Amino acid sequence: MARWKFCNLLQIGPDARRLWQFEAKGANVVGGREQRVANGEPIPPRVVSKTWSALWQPRLNVAWLPSENVFFRVLELPRSNPDELRAMLELQLEKISPIPVTQIVWTYHIMSKSASDSLVTLVVVIASRSWVEEFLGRLEQDGFLSDLLDVLMVDQLEALSGAGDGAWIIPLATEGGGKALVSWWQGGVLRGINLVNLPPGAGRAMELKNQLTHMVWSGELEGWIAAPVQWNVISDPVTAAEWQGWLREGFKEPVSVVAATPLADLAAGTARRAIVPNGAPLLPPEHTARYHQQFVDRLWLHGLGYAGLLYAISLVIYFCAVAVLEYRTTGVETQVAGLAPAYTNSLQLTAQFNVLSERQELKFAALDCWNQVAQQLPATLTLQRFSLADGRHLTLSGTTSQDQVDTLFNFYSTLQKLQRNGQFIFDQQKGTPPSPRLTGNSESWNFSLDLQNAEAEP
């Protein structure tokens, strides 16, 4: 499965930059929409920049290194697992690298066709670290932070598998022309890759013949070139005609012209290979770490920006709500100020009404208690004092003869058990029972009762 959802592939050309966009679908890619950006114009940031969406839809930025600035080597090694294969390649780097190993970055590609089942054919790509860092600096100025570096020539060589034996010359799109890669095929297997660099001006045909002749001699010594060599040129019609003329002039042999593989197909091949990286990236690891840190920092800054914007919006909403509530509060306060005199008058009237009501209730409670006492008072008892305090506490006192003490207690009990509408008039838990005292020839008595609910009494 793909580790990325979208892939952007950038090619730097002499006249313009091409940008392809692919989408991963399992082990394949779809899309391939191409966009041309003139040199000097910025690459659209919305296409290549990584935002929050890259967290759940990973985006891979791939850049093609110019083929004229890298070195290609072809090796045949025993077939083994990727770790052992990489270890064997590292042992061969000292021998095949034209630059000190400490100053290079490198990667490799396993060709689909090999000489035998026990061997694998590898195309090793070697580039100067300083030049790669300079190339990455130019990409950074254009706003393109690359996650992977590759070379389109690898996919062009893969496209030549099974095309036939001989020398396949692939002119490079450089200023002034005169540069080409020559891939040598024998038995359907890639045997070698060389760079041809022709000087400007006249005599290019002879110079081309000299360089190719030395390559043929080297291949004959190694045993993988058999004369005569079939010459083939892969390019657009104009460039192919130019190289075809130089080859015919130099070797006096027929030259075949083959249409170049469309760049969109080569870009799709690079995107498919990027789904499963081989573990030997051309991109220096310190750049990978720095780009990742920049991505994380950018997410933090964007997050803080969004949080600040949300906070500002919240403040605006808060102050708007405060203003609305303050306006409503001012309106209510104005209404309260207008109603204050009427409210004060209503409080005074309510207080006066309560005083009058209380007086009326006290008056009727006293009269009612007097009525009940008058109805229940035995003729043998003399009532000297009648008092109703606080509209609730009834106190009676008087005199009687010594033989009427029981009548006194019966009178108290009768008053205490008086009922109205099924409820006791006096509280059964309160009150002071009679306490007769002998005074001369008569008994002085007094007792008290509390109304059950003085406010409810009519």
For β-strands 71-78 and 59-64, DSSP reports them as unpaired
**Alpha-carbon span 112 to 158, nearest angstrom:** 7
pLDDT at 123 over 90: yes
Coil, strand, or helix at residue 367?
Answer: helix
Position 82 scores a pLDDT of 87
Ordered alpha helix ranges (H), 199-262: 204-222, 237-251
**Alpha-carbon span 175 to 160, nearest angstrom:** 25
**Alpha-carbon span 224 to 134, nearest angstrom:** 37
- DSSP states of 32-76 as a string? EEEEEEETTSPPPHHHH---GGGGTS-EEEEEEPPGGGSEEEEEE
**Alpha-carbon span 145 to 136, nearest angstrom:** 8
pLDDT at 1 over 70: no
Coil, strand, or helix at residue 190?
Answer: strand
For β-strands 437-439 and 442-450, DSSP reports them as antiparallel
Is residue 106 within 8 Å of residue 53, measured between CB atoms? no
Position 312 scores a pLDDT of 95
Q: Which domains does the chain have, with CATH numbers?
A: 69-283 (3.30.420.40), 362-456 (3.30.70)
**Alpha-carbon span 3 to 24, nearest angstrom:** 9
367-426, pLDDT tens digit by residue? 777 777 788 788 888 887 888 787 778 888 888 887 887 887 888 888 778 877 777 878
pTM of the model: 0.67
For β-strands 166-171 and 231-234, DSSP reports them as parallel
**Cis preceding linkage at 341, omega within 30:** no
What is the pLDDT averaged over residues 68-86? Answer: 92
**Alpha-carbon span 378 to 381, nearest angstrom:** 6
306-338, pLDDT tens digit by residue? 999 999 999 999 999 999 999 999 999 888 888
CA proximity to 171, closest of 160, 163, 181 = 181
Confidence of residue 365 (pLDDT cuts 50, 70, 90): low
**Alpha-carbon span 111 to 163, nearest angstrom:** 14
**Alpha-carbon span 436 to 442, nearest angstrom:** 10
Q: Is 221 exposed, middle or buried (0-12, 13-18, 19+ CB in 10 A)?
A: exposed
- What dihedral angle (degrees, nearest 10) is formed by the CA atoms of 79, 80, 84, 85? 40
Position 148 scores a pLDDT of 92
